[in-house]
Amino acid sequence: MVIAATCVVAPASGQLRVMNYNYAHLGGDSASLQAVLAAAHADNSEGWAKPVDIMLFQEVTNSTVGTLQTLVNGAAPAGSTYARATFTTSGGEDSAAGAQCAFYRIETISETVSGHVDIATGASRNSDRWLFKLVGYSSTAASVYVYSSHFKASLGYESDRETGALAVRANANALGAGVRAIYVGDFNVYVNTEPAYLAFMASGNGQALDGLGTGSWAGTANAWKHTQSPRLASGGLVGGGLDDRFDHHLPTLQLGDGEGISQIANTHRSLGNDGNHYNLDINNGNNTYFPADRTRSNALADALWAASDHIPVIVDYQVPAVMGATLGSVPPRIVQGAAASAVVSIKNLAGVVTALGADELDYSVTGSGGFAGTSSGIAPLAPASASATLSLASSTVGTFSPQAVVTSSSEGAQNASISLPGSFTVVAKSRPSWQANALAQTGTHSVSINPATTLDVDIPLFNYGWTNAQSKLDADYFATTPVAGPVQVIAPLPTLIAGTPGSIRVRVNSAGLPSGLTNVPATLLTTDENIPGESDATLTLTIAITVAGPPPITGDFNGDGAVNASDLSVLLAQWGGPGQADLNGSGTVDGLDLGMLLSNWG
């Protein structure tokens, strides 16, 4: 049996969670800020929770970035470690509220440092671009650019914000068609018709989409979209209550097509905003962000109120599929013309916490070199699997080293091409024969026997012309006519006959047979060895029994006309049991039978 299998390990990444948060240059309560970050990891408002993979912050200064790192690590779930991505700032940015900062979960994300750039956008601060890649994936389609921006605040600065947005768009457009990018940050746009927002939605390589739709986000009906401010009174932070959607998360069209890395529909949310606190403190009365857990919702609302004058935006993304494929057992030998097959199992090994978190795995399987056939479909998430059946080429005798090639067209899929080798040999049918040097399926076997005696006879059976390129031979059934006649099989029929003949052992009993020749017809059924494609054959044999010579002498077991040491050896070999040497018919060969033999000695 040949079993070929891939040893494919699913990347640790699972689905992707991205958060952006203006943390007000650490102007709020640090413990509350850490509690908000911990809540972002544990947020299961969409049906699942998972650690945030990429965190983007606005208003980060040189003097607070170290403390932010400490808070990020302090809020990290067990098994998650966060590294700070390339961080650039200047005195000018520090005095203009702060710069952009990114952290990534090293178990799931790596940074391609060469992908980082600063983009001048006005307002004395830059936008930053990072290039992140999913750990465990090799395709460039498993990478995503992330832009973080903080545009000029307040009414009357719409043109300044547009200038910044156009600068970011120009950078993204230069990356070419189909760019995978996410624009996040505190855009400070007031309405959906503001030029800065429309700049992101404009056509071009980096055209964005909005998971909340491009309609108005103003008023009570859209309160659940708002991100600033979770507090009415300022208390050192910006107050005013929740009435603005300043914080945005806008992926490019390539990240909204459901292929590869792609935004999971309806997962764009403002953490802790239940939509019931328009122009209010987010912790005014009860908060119902987690409808079934008011205590948890209220605790989160309290932390948001104290941590910053913005609340985080969270979006979940699916990740590319991870293909795993194994080749089931391949019969090592098949008979020429056999209808034999091998099965390839395909599964999606993407490590996700919900089925929505993995792109579908489109696969195709093609056989070559002895495997024939093609198959295609969509493989489910492990442990379930899809199956593809390939037939084994059996028209020609020989040894084959086939391959099953499994490929995936899914965007960014890991292990997108897997080759599964196999091996098998096609052998010719066996050729049962009564002769060693000719193909004889009809034959005669002659037996000479004394009257009223029994004689054990071996009838040779050949697999004519056998080589390794030919099936071995099994004798399955042997019978004479009549069945209860003078010839009976007394040993198991031979199997796996190759270059050495097998023997059909029969016992011939001449009692009741007339002197001279008696022909006993026999039929033998054979098959190839027990491998795919085995076929059967029927042989006929005439057992020609010639009864001649003197009447038997009691104790002359070998029929040589004398009772001697050879016959004594037969008796002793059967001592204590039934057998030919049971001369008195007692059922046991014992001393009485020995006495009868000795009385005829000589």
Using 50, 70 and 90 to split pLDDT, how confident is the model at 3? very low
Question: Phi/psi at 593 (nearest 5 deg)?
Answer: -70, -35
Using 50, 70 and 90 to split pLDDT, how confident is the model at 233? very high
Segment 99-119 mean pLDDT:
97
Is residue 25 domain-shared with residue 162, that is, in the same domain?
yes
Q: Return the percentage of the chain with pLDDT > 90, whole number.
A: 91
Is residue 5 pLDDT above 50, yes or no? no
Task: Read off the pTM.
Answer: 0.83
State the DSSP string of 94-121: HHTT-EEEEEEETTTEEE-GGG-EEEE-
**Amino acid 122: pLDDT:** 84
In a domain, 7, yes or no: no
In a domain, 3, yes or no: no
Is residue 228 domain-shared with residue 115, that is, in the same domain?
yes
Residue where the block lists tokens 């040894």: 399
Is residue 388 domain-shared with residue 491, that is, in the same domain?
no
Segment 167-194 mean pLDDT:
98
In a domain, 446, yes or no: yes
Is residue 70 domain-shared with residue 56, that is, in the same domain?
yes
Please give the mean pLDDT across all residues of the chain: 95
Is residue 393 domain-shared with residue 437, that is, in the same domain?
no
Helix (H) or strand (E) holding 516: strand 516-528
- Distance CA(470)–CA(487), nearest Å, equals 32
In a domain, 557, yes or no: no
Segment 342-365 mean pLDDT:
97
In a domain, 499, yes or no: yes
**Amino acid 14: pLDDT:** 64
Is residue 145 pLDDT above 90, yes or no? yes
Is residue 369 domain-shared with residue 469, that is, in the same domain?
no
Is residue 499 domain-shared with residue 512, that is, in the same domain?
yes
CATH number at residue 330: 2.60.40.10
Is residue 315 pLDDT above 60, yes or no? yes
In a domain, 555, yes or no: no
- Distance CA(157)–CA(185), nearest Å, equals 17
- Pick from 10-19, 49-58, 82-91, 150-159: least confident: 10-19
Q: What confidence tens digit (pLDDT) does each residue in 17-74 have? A: 999 999 999 999 999 999 999 999 999 999 999 999 999 999 999 999 999 999 999 9
**Amino acid 257: pLDDT:** 97
In a domain, 314, yes or no: yes
Is residue 574 pLDDT above 70, yes or no? yes
- Distance CA(571)–CA(566), nearest Å, equals 9
Is residue 271 domain-shared with residue 194, that is, in the same domain?
yes
Residue 457 bridge partners (DSSP): 506
In a domain, 496, yes or no: yes
**Amino acid 97: pLDDT:** 85
Is residue 9 pLDDT above 90, yes or no? no
Using 50, 70 and 90 to split pLDDT, how confident is the model at 4? very low
Is residue 162 domain-shared with residue 222, that is, in the same domain?
yes
- Distance CA(122)–CA(110), nearest Å, equals 29
Q: Number of helices and strands (H, E) in the chain?
A: 8, 33
Q: What confidence tens digit (pLDDT) does each residue in 111-131 have? A: 999 999 999 998 788 999 999
Last residue of a domain, one of 407, 427, 447: 427
Six token digits for residue 585: 């018919």
Last residue of a domain, one of 400, 427, 454: 427
Is residue 491 pLDDT above 60, yes or no? yes
Is residue 119 domain-shared with residue 223, that is, in the same domain?
yes
Last residue of a domain, one of 299, 318, 337: 318
CATH number at residue 206: 3.60.10.10
- What is the domain range of residue 582? 565-599
Is residue 290 domain-shared with residue 344, that is, in the same domain?
no
Question: Phi/psi at 33 (nearest 5 deg)?
Answer: -60, -45
For the four alpha carbons of 405, 411, 412 and 413, in that order, the dihedral sign comes to negative
**Amino acid 13: pLDDT:** 47
Helix (H, G, I), strand (E, B) or coil at 454: strand
- Structural domain count of the chain: 4
Quote the strand ranges of 289-385, DSSP E.
313-318, 323-330, 333-335, 341-348, 361-368, 371-372, 374-379
3-state SS, 551-569, equals CCCCCCCCCCCCECHHHHH
Q: What confidence tens digit (pLDDT) does each residue in 192-215 have? A: 999 999 999 999 999 999 999 999
Segment 346-354 mean pLDDT:
96
- Distance CA(361)–CA(260), nearest Å, equals 10
Is residue 7 pLDDT above 50, yes or no? no
For residues 346 and 379, is the Cβ–Cβ distance under 8 A? yes
333-335, strands of its sheet edge to edge = 333-335, 424-427, 398-400
Is residue 230 domain-shared with residue 138, that is, in the same domain?
yes
- Distance CA(153)–CA(394), nearest Å, equals 76
Angle between helices 565-573 and 591-599 (to 10 degrees): 170
